[in-house]
């Protein structure tokens, strides 16, 4: 991703007619480049952090004697790592053949697309992945024995309620963490785009 960014700012864009003033040029060189680099850098580090998290969780579960669950969790987190890695590659496909304003606008839209997709993963994929882990963890426990004595309709209701709760927690957690990690950078990106729009209108 770094190479594409460096090429963008070293070689420039094919069409800069509307953004040819020194003020606009200064804006995209100083503000845009810095913001894009920071977003890309943080997103990579954020995704890479999943690997040590997976290892730590595996170590804890293995210590508790839950080796199978530990392996299951590692597989889930590793899968999430590669899914995120593929989504982040999409930022490299943003068209750089237009002017800087268009590039930033397309980049912002691609980031929003990734965030929307990640919200769906958190809201639906995570509960579906976690519920089997709960079942494995409590399989031979008194809680599971008591659960199995319930009416089928009540069992379904409890599972659905738990899934909805996990979904709400996952979505809330994802949005809060995204706001904490990327909120200020996305705001800078939005402000830069707005500045360019104002300057192009003058």
pLDDT tens for 86-95 read 888 877 776 6
Domain of 8?
A: 2-201
In tens, the pLDDT along 171-197 reads 898 899 888 888 888 888 888 888 777
> Among 77, 56, 58, 54, which Cα is nearest to 66's?
58
Residue bearing the bigger pLDDT, 44 or 6: 44
Torsion angle, alpha carbons of 44, 87, 37, 98, to 10: 170
- Quote the pLDDT of residue 52: 92
Helices (H), the chain: 2-11, 22-27, 33-48, 50-63, 67-89, 100-120, 126-137, 142-148, 152-201
Q: Is 153 exposed, middle or buried (0-12, 13-18, 19+ CB in 10 A)?
A: exposed
In tens, the pLDDT along 55-110 reads 998 898 888 887 888 888 888 889 889 988 888 887 777 665 666 777 888 888 88
Helices (H), 90-151: 100-120, 126-137, 142-148
Name the one residue in this structure whose structure tokens are 């069409």. 15
**Does residue 90 contact residue 40 with C-beta atoms inside 8 Å?**
no
Number of domains in the chain: 1
Angstrom distance (rounded) from CA 110 to CA 132: 33
Distance of CA 73 to the CA centre of its chain: 19
Angstrom distance (rounded) from CA 51 to CA 85: 12
């Amino acid at each position: 991703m770094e190479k594409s960014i460096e090429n963008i700012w070293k070689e420039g864009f094919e069409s800069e007619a509307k953004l040819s003033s020194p003020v606009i040029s200064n804006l995209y060189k100083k503000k845009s480049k810095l913001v894009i680099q920071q977003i890309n850098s943080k997103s990579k580090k954020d995704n890479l952090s999943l690997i040590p998290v997976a290892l730590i969780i595996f170590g804890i579960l293995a210590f508790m004697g839950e080796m199978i669950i530990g392996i299951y969790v590692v597989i889930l987190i590793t899968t999430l790592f590669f899914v995120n890695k593929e989504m982040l590659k999409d930022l490299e496909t943003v068209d750089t053949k237009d002017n800087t304003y268009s590039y930033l606008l397309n980049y912002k839209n691609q980031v929003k697309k990734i965030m929307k997709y990640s919200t769906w993963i958190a809201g639906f994929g995570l509960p579906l992945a976690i519920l089997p882990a709960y079942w494995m963890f409590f399989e031979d426990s008194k809680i599971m024995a008591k659960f199995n004595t319930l009416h089928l309709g009540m069992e379904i209701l409890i599972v659905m309620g738990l899934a909805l709760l996990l979904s709400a927690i996952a979505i809330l957690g994802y949005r809060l963490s995204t706001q904490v990690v990327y909120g200020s950078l996305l705001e800078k990106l939005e402000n830069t785009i707005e500045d360019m729009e104002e300057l192009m209108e003058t």
